Amino acid sequence: MADRNTFRLMLLILGLVFAFLYLPISVLVGLSFNEGGLPTAWTGFSVKWYGELLANKDILRAAGNTLIVAIFSTLLSTILGSLLAVGVEIRRRNGKWLETMIFAPMIIPDIVLAIALLSFFSLLGVKMGLHTIIVSHVVFNLAFVSAVVRARLKSFDWSIVEASNDLGATTATTMRRVVLPVLMPAILAGALLAFTLSVDEFIIAFFTAGAGRSSITLPMQIFSMIRFGVTPEINALATVVMAVSVVALALSQRLNRGGLPGQ
């Protein structure tokens, strides 16, 4: 639409911004395959740092814990979040308070939610562990799931529900046969998003984790490794973690062409 120079300027801006966004993480990925492991010199391609990862019991255990947290919190938040979305959209006239409450978990600073939950669990005398991380993750995850599902419901044609009811189907049948199939891509996309968020979440997990190795998640493990300095093992671990998020997110995006929450 505009003249060629403007277009070139736009390309330049895009190039610079993308370079800024991708160079640092590309460096990590690159270094993770560097035999010597140091950023000072390229000594040859090697996957030995990935081998080290697989040999590290603590990392494997943390990865296992992360999976448990992510799977359970995803299941719970997908159920709760989807139901919430359907309920909210059927009801339509929702007060400001309700909307705020559903929106809040997505924007409340992590640290505030984290310390609130820590104080809450600790005053109630709840023994903390993976289960406390899971229920805490559900708090923000269900909000994200419901946002994704609601976006889908906005374009949902409610008249088919009425048609189905008019044809004599029970509410349950209508839900299962009519509503659910339409919503499924969005529900799955929301679930994948929740999974990604849960796998990557650090601050809330850090505060609501219990004692002992049994509740150390991967991000907590990464944090403690980073504090002890730069090692090639972290580069490899970082690469794996990023790859998991990217794949989950790409899948989520494919399933649900509606876009990401926040959009």
Partner 1 sequence: MTQRIIGASLCLSAALATLGSTAFAEPLTVSNWDGYMAADAIDNFNEATGNEAELVLHATNEEIMGKLIASGGEGYDVVFVSSPFAEVLNKLGLAEELDHSKLPNLSNLYTEATELPHDPGNTFSVPYAWGTTGLCYRSDLVSEPTSWNDLLKPSDDVSGKTTMLATDRWLLAAGQLALGYSVNETDADKMAEVRDLLIDAKGTLLAYDDTTFYAKLVSGEAELVQAWDGWCNYGIAENAEIKYTVPKEGSDLWVDTMVIMKASENKDAAYAFVDYILDADNHRWAAENILYKVPNQAAMEGLDASLIETFPNMGMKPADMMEYEQLRDVGEAQRDYSRVVSEIKAAN
Partner 2 sequence: MTTDRRPILLMSPALLWLFGLMVVPCLLILVLAFFRRGMYGGIEYTFTLENIALVFDPLYAQIFLKSAWIAGLAAGIASILGYAAAYAIAAMPRHRQSALLFFAVLPFWSNYLVRTYAWIVLLNREGLIVNLARWVGFEGELPSMLYTEQAVVIGLIYNYLPFVILSCYAPLSRLNPEISEASRDLGASGWTTFRRVVLPMTVPGIATGFVFVFVLSIGNFVTPALLGGGQFQMIGNLVYAQFLTANDWPFGAALSMVLIMVMLGLLMAQATVADRASGGKAGDNG
Residues 63-122 that bind partner 1 (CB under 8 A): 68, 72, 75-76, 79, 83, 118, 122
Nearest distance in Å: CB 226, partner 2: 5
Nearest distance, CB of residue 256 and partner 2, angstroms: 12
Separation between Cα atoms, residue 192 and residue 201, nearest integer Å: 14
Cβ closest to partner 1, residue 75 vs residue 260: 75
The Cα 141–Cα 70 span in angstroms is 10
Q: Which two tokens stand for residue 19?
A: 């370079």
Stretch that binds partner 2, among 49-57, 67-75, 161-169, 209-217 (CB under 8 A): 161-169
How crowded is the C-beta side of 257, counted as CA atoms within 13 Å? 1
Question: Does 182 engage in binding with partner 1 (CB under 8 A)?
Answer: no
Told to check if 180 binds partner 2 by CB under 8 A, we report no
Does 247 bind partner 2 (CB under 8 A)? Our answer is no
* Minimum gap (Å) between residue 51 Cβ and partner 2: 20
The answer to the question of residue 215 lying near partner 1 (CB under 8 A) is yes
**From candidates 43, 48, 120, 160, binder to partner 2 by CB under 8 A:** 120
- How many other CB atoms are found less than 10 A from the CB of residue 189? 27
19 binds partner 2 (CB under 8 A): no
Q: Are 179 and 138 in contact (CB under 8 A)?
A: no
DSSP assignments along 153-203, one per residue = HHT--THHHHHHHHTT--HHHHIIIIIHHHHHHHHHHHHHHHHHHHHH--H
